[in-house]
Amino acid sequence: MFQIREYIPLAPFTTFGVGGSARYFCEPECENDIERAYAFAKEKEVPLFILGGGSNLLVSDDGYSGIVVHPAFKGVSLEEETEDSLSLCVGAGEVWDDFVIWSVNHDAAGFECLSGIPGTVGGFVFENAGAYRQNCSDHIVSVDAFDIREGIWKRFSKEECEFSYHMSFFKKNIGRYFIARAYFNVPRSRTVRTRCAYKDNRFDFSKMFPEDKPMPSLEEMRNAILNVRGEKGMLIMRGFESFKSAGSFFGLPPVTREDFARITREAERLDAKKILDLAPWYWEQQDGSVKIAPAFLLEFTSFTKGYRRGNVGISPKHSLAIVNYGGGTAEEIRCLAEDMKKSVFELFGVLLVPEVTYVGFHA
Ligand SMILES: Cc1cc2nc3c(=O)[nH]c(=O)nc-3n(C[C@H](O)[C@H](O)[C@H](O)COP(=O)(O)OP(=O)(O)OC[C@H]3O[C@@H](n4cnc5c(N)ncnc54)[C@H](O)[C@@H]3O)c2cc1C
């Protein structure tokens, strides 16, 4: 039965495991419940925040003074199937990785590289989460969402969702839409359809699955991804060493060629060997700009893998993952993130951009 509860601690609902309580909290299971949560927020004149899997959030130690809505719309339903594809409807509260497992087991190809990422389907659509050259939006047809400002339902076509790298129309209009379900049309295949060309300074998929060998099955690809994620400490799964984090805390928008040349010169001056050791750390974009790995820049600061300050620090396996080592607070995490940003800015003149949403912080 739908209930609005009071003073619910939010830390257990987040992967950082920090943060205070929600003044009000509810878990809608259907359209009607969402409308009731919306009416409640209006009546009490409090803000409303949607919390999915809590894997890309930093909740303040003071908690959230409005109503936190934790979607419980679950389930994957097969709407239609042809010889070539499957049409699916998936509830926003469905755990993303359960959906990936469902896809792999049903020969629905295209999500296997997104294995092992925490979060819900709603959060994935909002963030257009992606990894290893696949994105949540790749096979989306449409999305049903509730407009919290107007109090109406709308079905968004893929074009209207305005997906781009780690971005969507919903994220651009943060706080306005409640994503309730997503519709996908997924190609049917037992093996991966495109070889994963991902390569970084530790892993090269072209070596794991060479061209002269048959295409890997969806399951083989999923297992390879889980192992790579496990090695990077980016997997919260039994049998793997896991950390309380929100994954990569920072992103960095592509820089101009001039900025790239300046950053390279600065890095050479600081430590020319690192430039070679950490390759590849930049990727030229089609529009002439250059994408630089933020982790590369951090390697020139004191904020490197394994750094610790009190109860928080940086993962020993991934320089972009700020970690709560146990007993940490949101304030400790926020301060560490600020210092990391400042340090990179002072050395290279570029601003790292937090990828996590800050909840309940006062400007
Ligand atoms: C170990 C680890 C590894 C990770 N690896 C990756 C990775 O490889 N690639 C990647 O892209 N991300 C990664 N992430 C980040 C995170 O898992 C994704 O961003 C994920 O999509 C967040 O989903 P969520 O349900 O947890 O959203 P939450 O963290 O709960 O919320 C994030 C934002 O989405 C909004 N939101 C959530 N649900 C809805 C909804 N139903 N309607 C409207 N808005 C909603 C929230 O209001 C908030 O603004 C990682 C995180 C961790 C902890």
Classify domain 5-69 by CATH number: 3.30.43.10
- Structure-token match 């968004």, residue found: 156
Task: Please state the atom number of ligand 1 nearest to the C-alpha of residue 180.
Answer: 41
DSSP state for residue 34 in the 8-state scheme? H
- Structure-token match 């809505």, residue found: 69
Q: Which residue lies with its CA nearest to atom 35 of ligand 1?
A: 123
Work out the average pLDDT over 335-359: 97
Tell me how far the alpha carbon of residue 125 lies from the centroid of ligand 1, in angstroms: 9
CATH architecture of 76-231: 2-Layer Sandwich (3.30)
Task: Please state the atom number of ligand 1 nearest to the C-alpha of residue 242.
Answer: 1
For residue 348, the model assigns a pLDDT of 97
- E strand map for 168-311: 177-187, 244-245, 250-251, 282-284, 290-292, 308-309
Work out the average pLDDT over 321-334: 98
Q: Which residue lies with its CA nearest to atom 21 of ligand 1?
A: 124
Q: Which residue lies with its CA nearest to atom 8 of ligand 1?
A: 131
DSSP state for residue 117 in the 8-state scheme? -
Pick from 222, 245, 223, 224: nearest CA to 234: 245
Instruction: Report whether 159 contacts 202 (CB < 8 A).
Output: no
Query: What pTM was computed for the model?
Result: 0.95
Pick from 236, 255, 254: nearest CA to 245: 236
**In CATH, what class is 245-359?**
alpha beta
Distance CA 232, CA 221 (A): 17
Work out the average pLDDT over 257-282: 94
Work out the average pLDDT over 165-171: 95
| Cβ atoms within 10 Å of 286's Cβ, excluding its own | 5
Distance CA 350, CA 343 (A): 10
Task: Please state the atom number of ligand 1 nearest to the C-alpha of residue 166.
Answer: 11
- Structure-token match 């396996």, residue found: 317
- Burial level of 124, CB count in 10 A (0-12/13-18/19+)? buried
Ramachandran area for residue 138 (φ above 0: left; ψ -120 to 50: alpha; else beta): alpha
Distance CA 139, CA 185 (A): 6
Pick from 14, 154, 153: nearest CA to 70: 14
pLDDT tens per residue across span 101-121 = 999 999 999 999 999 999 999
**Cα separations in angstroms, 78 against 161, 232, 287:** 22, 34, 39
State percent of the chain over pLDDT 90. Answer: 91
Distance CA 175, CA 86 (A): 32
For residue 212, the model assigns a pLDDT of 87
pLDDT tens per residue across span 209-245 = 888 888 999 999 999 999 999 999 999 999 999 999 9
Mutate to test the pocket of ligand 1, among 34, 97, 117, 170 (most ligand atoms within 8 A of CB): 117
Tell me how far the alpha carbon of residue 355 lies from the centroid of ligand 1, in angstroms: 10
Instruction: Report whether 121 contacts 92 (CB < 8 A).
Output: yes
Q: Where are the domains of the chain?
A: 5-69, 76-231, 245-359
Q: Which amino acid is it at 24? A: Y
Residues with CB under 6 A from ligand 1: 15, 49-57, 71, 92, 117-120, 122-124, 126-127, 129-131, 170, 174, 177-179, 234, 236, 245-247, 357
pLDDT tens per residue across span 8-48 = 999 999 999 999 999 999 999 999 999 999 999 999 999 99
For residue 15, the model assigns a pLDDT of 98
